[in-house]
Amino acid sequence: MSKVIIACQTISDELNLAMRATGCSYPVIRMASDYHMDPNLLRAKLQEEIDKLTDFQDVLLAYGCCGNGLVGLKASTAGLIIPRTEDCISMVLSRPGEKFERLKRTYFLTRGWLQGSKSIAAEYEHACERYGEARARKLFKFMLKNYNYLMVIDTGAYPLADCLSKAEELAGNTGLEVVVSKGSVWLLQKLLTGPYDEDFSVIPRGGTVNSSHFGMAGAAPAHQAI
Amino acid sequence: MKDWGEKEKELIKYVEQLDEENVLKLADELLNAGMDPLYLLDLVNEGMNRVGKLYESKDYYIADLIMAGLIFKQVLGLDKMIAQFQVGQINKIGKVLLGTVKGDIHDIGKDIFRGMLEANGFDVMDLGVDVPKEMFLKKYEEYAPHILGLSGVLTTTVDTMKEVVDAFVQAGVRDKVRIIAGGNHLTAEACRYIGADGFASDASVGVKICKEWMSCAGGQGAIHHG
C-alpha cells in the first residue's frame, strides 16, 4: 500500500465526495473535530497516528495549517503531503489559482462543523440547558458581537436542507443573517490524485513541517516552527 | 488578617460553578464584613483559573468562559470594589494598549485578558478587533502605554502581528514598549518571529508576564515566554 489519508472529521463529507469523485480507495484515519480547539493536542494526536504507521510511502493530510496544529509534525514513518491552506474554511472556499480572502464578520458552517461536539449549535444547546434560553441569548449576543453573518458553505458533499434549517434556527436565536455560498472539494480531490504542485507541501520521510510549508511567514528561517 | 475560613473556599467554588447569584451575594457579604477588595479579587481570580482549566479539559464551553467574564465584571462593579479602584486610580501599575490584529475578529480571549489586567491594577485601552497597524501606532503615540498587547486566533495573525511590530520598529518606538502576543496558536518560535517580548495562550499567564514586566520598573529584562 502506498498512501494513507489522515483527515479531520469536520471535513468527512467533503473527503467522502472527493474520494467518490476520484475513485480513491486509500485507507482513511479520521480524527476528532474537537482537536482544532487545541493546536498542541491536535499536533500530538496526529504525530501519534503518523508514528504508528508502517508500510506506507506517503501520508495525505486532509488538513490546513489549523492554528499551527500541523507545524512541527515529523514525517517519522512516511512522507507527508499537506495542502498549503490556512484551515478547512479556506480549503473549501478557495478557488484554484486565486488568493483566498476570508470574509469578515462571518461565522462559517457546513454539516461537518455543526456535528462537532463543541460546535456553535452544541454551544447554544449547552448554554440553554445551563442558563435558560433568555440568558443563553444574551451570552450569544455578546459572544457573536463581531459577527453579522452565518454562512452555510454548500460544498455539494451533503444535503443542504438540513444544515440550512439548523443554521436558520441558530441565526434566529443569535441575531445573525444566514447566507449560502458555494464551496468546492477541488483541493481535496487534488490531494488524492496529485499533481503535488504549488498547492501542496511535500515533506520527505525524516523531515519536519514548518510554517513556510503553508506559504505563510515565508521569510522565517526553516527551523522556526511558527 | 481575619480568618475567613470556609467562606473563602465557598466563594472560589461559586465562581468555578459559575453560580452568578451566589458569587455576588457572598462577595458583597465578605466586602461588607471587611474583606480587603484586593484579597477578594485574588479569590475570584482563583475561581476564574479553575474555570479556565475546566474549559481546557473540555468540561466547559465557550459560553461558560463568557459567563465567567460577566460574573467577574459584576464583582468589579460592587460598590466596595468601585470605591477601591477609584482610590487605586492614582496607583495604577501600568498602561496596556490592546487589540485583535487586522484580519481577525476573535476577541473572547482578549476580553478576558483585559478584564484580568484591569482587576490587577492596569489601565487598559482596548482598540477592539480587526485593528490595523497604523491604529496601534497612532494610539501608542496618544496613550504612551508600557505594554502593547496583540491578540489573534487565526493562523495568519502571526504575520499580521509581525507587521505591527515591524511598524513600531520603523517608527523608532519599538524599544519604548514591551509587546505581548496572545492566542492559542502561538509558540516560542512564533513569538521570536513576530518580534514580541513574550506570548501567552492563557489570559492569566499573560497577566503574570505583564506584572513581571512592570515590576522590572520599565527596565530592560529577559524575554519572558509564557
From A157's Cα to the closest Cα of chain B, the distance in A is: 25
Tell me, yes or no, whether A110 and A146 share the same domain.
Answer: yes
Tell me, yes or no, whether A58 and A81 share the same domain.
Answer: yes
Query: Which of A132-141, A215-224, B31-40 bottoms out in mean pLDDT, i.e. has the lowest?
Result: A215-224
Q: Which of B58, B106, B187 sits opposite A68 (nearest CB)?
A: B187
The amino acid at residue A188 is: L
CA A4 to chain CA centroid, nearest Å: 18
Work out the mean pLDDT of chain A and round it to a whole number: 90
Q: Where in chain B is the domain with CATH 3.40.50.280?
A: 92-215
Select from A91, A140, A146, A176 the residue whose CB has the most chain B CBs within 10 Å, as the one to mutate to test that interface.
A146
B158, B189 in Cβ contact below 8 A? no
The answer to whether the Cβ–Cβ distance between B156 and A86 falls below 8 Å is yes
Assign domain B92-215 to its CATH superfamily: Cobalamin-binding domain (3.40.50.280)
- What pLDDT shows up at residue B223? 41
Q: Which of B18, B62, B190 sits opposite A123 (nearest CB)?
A: B62
How many CB atoms lie under 10 A from the CB of residue A1? 9
- CB of B217 less than 8 A from some CB of A: no
Q: What's this model's pTM, rounded to 2 decimal places?
A: 0.83
User: Is A95 within the bounds of a domain?
Assistant: no
A143 to chain B: which residues are within 8 Å by CB?
62-63, 66, 108
Domain range for A121: 106-182
Model ipTM? 0.78
User: Is A161 within the bounds of a domain?
Assistant: yes
Our CA dihedral for B152, B154, B159, B160, rounded to 10 degrees, sits at -50
Q: Where in chain B is the domain with CATH 1.10.1240.10?
A: 6-87
User: Is A166 within the bounds of a domain?
Assistant: yes
List all residues of chain A from 177 to 206 with a beta carbon under 8 Å from chain B: none
pLDDT digits (tens, 9 = 90+) for B49-95: 899 889 888 899 989 988 998 898 899 889 888 887 666 565 788 99
In CATH, what number does B6-87 get? 1.10.1240.10
A180, A160 in Cβ contact below 8 A? yes
Select from A33, A37, A68, A85 the residue whose CB has the most chain B CBs within 10 Å, as the one to mutate to test that interface.
A68
